[in-house]
Amino acid sequence: MASSNPQTRSFDEFIHQSELPVLVDFWADWCGPCKMMEPIIKDVAKSMKGQLKVIKVNVDQKQHIAARYQVRGIPTFILFDNGEPVWQTSGAMPAHALKQQLQAHL
């Protein structure tokens, strides 16, 4: 899917060209559960290094990307493999639960 928006293009290029699956954290500054998940996402990125990459997408700044993937609530997490979404969930959860769900799709 080609796009004339350079920010969308760089997002698309990143998720399509990554050698590893990419976990995208859709979040916003004003979201309490998103703030709760921040240290958990950092832990997941660190402990699963070499298995996946993690990026954050601020839904207020990148509404077009959130809309494309029908993100209706935040935090929402989507795992992309070869540019395609393979898993998605919403809401806060403990690190072990998130890692367990991700492992099932790696």
Burial class of residue 73, CB neighbours in 10 A (0-12, 13-18, 19+): exposed
> Would you kindly state where each structural domain of the chain is located, as residue ranges?
6-103
Asked about 34 being catalytic, the answer comes back as yes
Give residue 8's pLDDT: 65
The alpha carbon of 51 is separated from its chain's Cα centroid by a whole number of angstroms, namely: 14
Max intra-chain CA distance, the chain:
39
Q: Which of 34, 54, 57, 98 is catalytic?
A: 34
pLDDT (tens place) for every residue of the chain, 106 residues total: 343 455 667 999 999 999 999 999 999 999 999 999 999 999 999 999 999 999 999 999 999 999 999 999 999 999 999 999 999 999 999 999 999 999 999 9
**Model-level pTM?**
0.91
**6-103 is classed CATH 3.40.30.10:** yes
- CB under 8 Å to 40, separation ≥6 — which residues? 92, 93, 94, 95, 98
Asked about 31 being catalytic, the answer comes back as yes
Q: Which of 24, 31, 52, 65 is catalytic?
A: 31
